[in-house]
Structure 1
Amino acid sequence: MRRTHLAALTGLALILAACDQVRLPGLNPVEPELSAEPKGSAAGDAVGGYTEADLQPTPEEIEAERAETTRIAAETAVAAPAPAAPLETPAAGATAMPEDESAPAPAADTAALPPDAALATSLGIVNASRCILPSGAPATPTVAKAAGATELEEPVMGTEAVNALAASLSAFPGIVKIEPRRAEPTGVVASGHCGAVRVARNWFVTAAHCIDEPFDEIRVIGEAANLRSPEAKRASADYAVCHAGYQGTDNGYANDIALVRLSEEQVAGFANVPVARFGATAQALAPANYPVAEMAGWGLTRFDGELSNELLTTRLKILSAGPAAITVTSENGAGPCIGDSGGPLYVTEADGSKTVVGILSVVEQNRTTGHFCEGEYNGRYINLQGYAGWMTSVMALCEDEGAACR
């Protein structure tokens, strides 16, 4: 999370010599809008915000998707008499936006298919896939690679030295930190750093780019604003499911959303992490109704700095809100940075309660200096109003048919 002005980028100058080619988690160069907003999007409904209908494919696209899924399932049933390797790519024929939840399931008889064919069909129904980039897609550098943060370090400066406020957990319901971890051949444990928010008893939503590479463990940390506090609880996620339309840099981080599930045993330690209200707002989600929003996270306190142990928060100005994405801008040089990816964006309702409306996907560089996380810069959050139906469908499928989602 960026809080102060920088004279120059130092620690990562060599790594980011060509920002147009290097994409970091939650970090993108200034470029044309890539929020993949659907054609002919409708305005918010009576209770405010967008619904799943705003993101629906056309009837022709739905029929083509159905036919393609059926064809692939039938071919798999003939060509693969024995179970194949676990599915590790997005479901075939996935569209860039959530599927029509009212559409019937593909006509294929999944009971007669090999296990992996049934898995693909089941995930395809809700336009979801296992969390891994498509074959051949550029890897998404993790914050560990970008900032050398293989393990969380003490910040060089205290929170009083940066342009932000220490945050209270009670002010940001449902927020947690996630750390995807992987043992490297060298023996070093590489760790990613992102935020997430609890949206159901066993479920947390985050950005797909946070977990789009194979990891040994997705660690979830909650219950304390300070990660080094004795009150901080840690658990390992059961599994994660990503939007099948996510392709990383290949489609500008469109559909950058994932759901992380904790088992009953693991989630028991998070009794004091409330389920956040997400999606629909009391009024239509627009700058006129919600001119500012709040974010919180444990990200970098400056671009070439350290990750924060303390939960920090700042206000952001909402520039626009479309069905797929919410665009915000920093306020007084304060805003999100590396390590805040996947973290929630909150708006405050008239009664003082908070609604989670987005999760951080990308951050642009300062248009004047070209630097990241400095001065005036924009960020893009995935709009949870537009993906609420997708989230509900995935959670329902995985609770009913857990084997289909693992």
Structure 2
Amino acid sequence: MASERERLVATAVFLASLITQSEGIIGGREAAPHSRPYMASIQAPEGQNLKHECGGFVVAQQWVMTAAHCLPTGPNGRRVVLGVHSLSEPEDTKQTFDIVEHHNHPHFSPSNYENDIALIKLDRPFNVSEAVQAVAFLRAGGTNPGTGAEVDTAGWGSLDNLGSRPDKLKEVAVEVFSSARCKRGDYFGRKFTDNMICAHKVCSDPCDQPHKKEDSCDGDSGGPLLYNHVVVGITSNGGKKCGQLKKPGIYTIVSHYTEWIHSIMGLQPTAAPGQRPSG
């Protein structure tokens, strides 16, 4: 019979899994240090330290975009770290911020991750450097990548389904998968909506594990999906296990939320698609 301590541990693990059904990188490679200066690490308090919990990306001075499910009940002491390559090593490039505003999309649905987008306002402007810069994101009227297009994503998420986490930023190139297939019952069914992109890549030689799928996994939610160096999606969710052939990673289509993004950030709605925001 399980001891009381074992039952408590099992309960804690189950509750954590409900909160952190997020995405990360399986396959891929370590990114060149600070080659993606827009990347953000959203970190939660753990004792006297901070622990990486979700990704995000800088879209304007003081503004970081991420997934709504990363902060379901608000910041709760979380901080945002920019200029990160190694989570554990001291780096002169790192800048750490408190969160002064947090905006989850008002129609975010935890049941299927519909409208999984959020904006975070930092407590002060960041110092622009080689390691910290904003990235362009696609606006309404822009063209999203079609089936088969190569896109890429990055993060500090799990390397496997056992939860092994990298210390340094990883990146992976994946391919946009057919939305029609992702809507099929043997894929995601009704969970998959027109506000989502699904993407993965089936490895073949010379991959380390031929015919295994490169994918996002636990810990990278909120990170960017890029097409031609412009953010088109936000890493949202996928299957209960990463790398499943019929459970590609799901990403929120950023351009579908242009009006909401502009209203929160106070930007003019006439900005050209893909233009880097100036606010």
| TM-score scaled by length of structure 1 | 0.50
1:273–1:17 distance in 2 versus 1, CA, 3 Å: closer
Q: Distance in 2 between the 1:220 and 1:357 partners? A: 22
Contact 1:300/1:306 (CA < 8 Å) preserved in 2?
yes
The Cα of 1:142 is off from its aligned counterpart by 3.1
Q: Partner letter of residue 177 of structure 2?
A: L
Q: Partner letter of residue 262 of structure 2?
A: T
Q: Choose the corresponding residue for 1:273, options 132, 146, 164.
A: 132
Q: Deviation digits for residues 278-297 of structure 1, max 9, x if unmatched?
A: 01499732325x61110100
Contact 2:117/2:252 (CA < 8 Å) preserved in 1?
yes
The Cα of 1:374 is off from its aligned counterpart by 3.0
Residues 33-112 of structure 1 correspond to what in structure 2 (within 5 A)? Answer: none
Q: Distance in 1 between the 2:158 and 2:242 partners? A: 9
The Cα of 1:167 is off from its aligned counterpart by 0.7
Query: Quick one: percent identity of the two aligned structures?
Result: 26
Is 2:150 the partner of 1:299? no
Match of 2:4 in 1: none
Structure ID, larger Rg: 1
Instruction: Give the secondary structure class of the aligned counterpart of 1:295.
Output: strand
Q: Choose the corresponding residue for 2:68, options 183, 199, 208.
A: 208
The Cα of 1:207 is off from its aligned counterpart by 0.5
Provide structure 1 residue ranges, at least 5 long, that are not aligned to the other structure: 1-13, 25-139, 147-158, 349-353, 366-371, 398-406
Residues 183-262 of structure 1 correspond to what in structure 2 (within 5 A)? Answer: 193-231=53-91, 232-249=94-111, 252-262=112-122
Instruction: Give the secondary structure class of the aligned counterpart of 1:357.
Output: strand
Match of 2:41 in 1: 177
1:361–1:218 distance in 2 versus 1, CA, 3 Å: same
Provide structure 2 residue ranges, at least 5 long, that are not aligned to the other structure: 1-9, 180-192, 204-212, 268-279
The Cα of 1:201 is off from its aligned counterpart by 0.7
Is 2:12 the partner of 1:142? no
Q: Deviation digits for residues 92-135 of structure 1, max 9, x if unmatched?
A: xxxxxxxxxxxxxxxxxxxxxxxxxxxxxxxxxxxxxxxxxxxx
Contact 1:192/1:210 (CA < 8 Å) preserved in 2?
no
Contact 1:178/1:221 (CA < 8 Å) preserved in 2?
yes
Q: Distance in 1 between the 2:128 and 2:66 partners? A: 17
Q: Partner letter of residue 32 of structure 2?
A: S
Q: Choose the corresponding residue for 1:357, options 232, 238, 244.
A: 232
Q: Deviation digits for residues 152-183 of structure 1, max 9, x if unmatched?
A: xxxxxxx9xx73211125543411111233x7
Q: Partner letter of residue 373 of structure 1?
A: C
Q: Distance in 1 between the 2:33 and 2:178 partners? A: 27
1:169–1:190 distance in 2 versus 1, CA, 3 Å: closer
1:386–1:23 distance in 2 versus 1, CA, 3 Å: farther
The Cα of 1:273 is off from its aligned counterpart by 1.4
Q: Choose the corresponding residue for 1:344, options 224, 232, 254.
A: 224
Residues 318-333 of structure 1 correspond to what in structure 2 (within 5 A)? Answer: 318-320=176-178, 324-332=195-203, 333=213
Instruction: Give the secondary structure class of the aligned counterpart of 1:345.
Output: strand
Q: Choose the corresponding residue for 1:164, options 28, 37, 41.
A: 28
1:389–1:173 distance in 2 versus 1, CA, 3 Å: farther
Q: Deviation digits for residues 45-78 of structure 1, max 9, x if unmatched?
A: xxxxxxxxxxxxxxxxxxxxxxxxxxxxxxxxxx
Match of 1:313 in 2: 171
Q: Distance in 1 between the 2:49 and 2:160 partners? A: 23
Q: Distance in 2 between the 1:195 and 1:296 partners? A: 9
Q: Partner letter of residue 241 of structure 1?
A: H
| TM-score scaled by length of structure 2 | 0.71
Is 2:139 the partner of 1:285? no
Contact 1:223/1:270 (CA < 8 Å) preserved in 2?
no
Q: How many residues align?
A: 230
The Cα of 1:190 is off from its aligned counterpart by 8.6
1:373–1:243 distance in 2 versus 1, CA, 3 Å: same
Q: Partner letter of residue 203 of structure 1?
A: W
Q: Distance in 1 between the 2:122 and 2:142 partners? A: 32
Q: Partner letter of residue 386 of structure 1?
A: H
Q: Distance in 2 between the 1:317 and 1:177 partners? A: 24
Contact 2:34/2:85 (CA < 8 Å) preserved in 1?
no
Contact 2:27/2:215 (CA < 8 Å) preserved in 1?
no
Contact 1:195/1:297 (CA < 8 Å) preserved in 2?
yes
Contact 1:169/1:175 (CA < 8 Å) preserved in 2?
no
The Cα of 1:189 is off from its aligned counterpart by 7.5
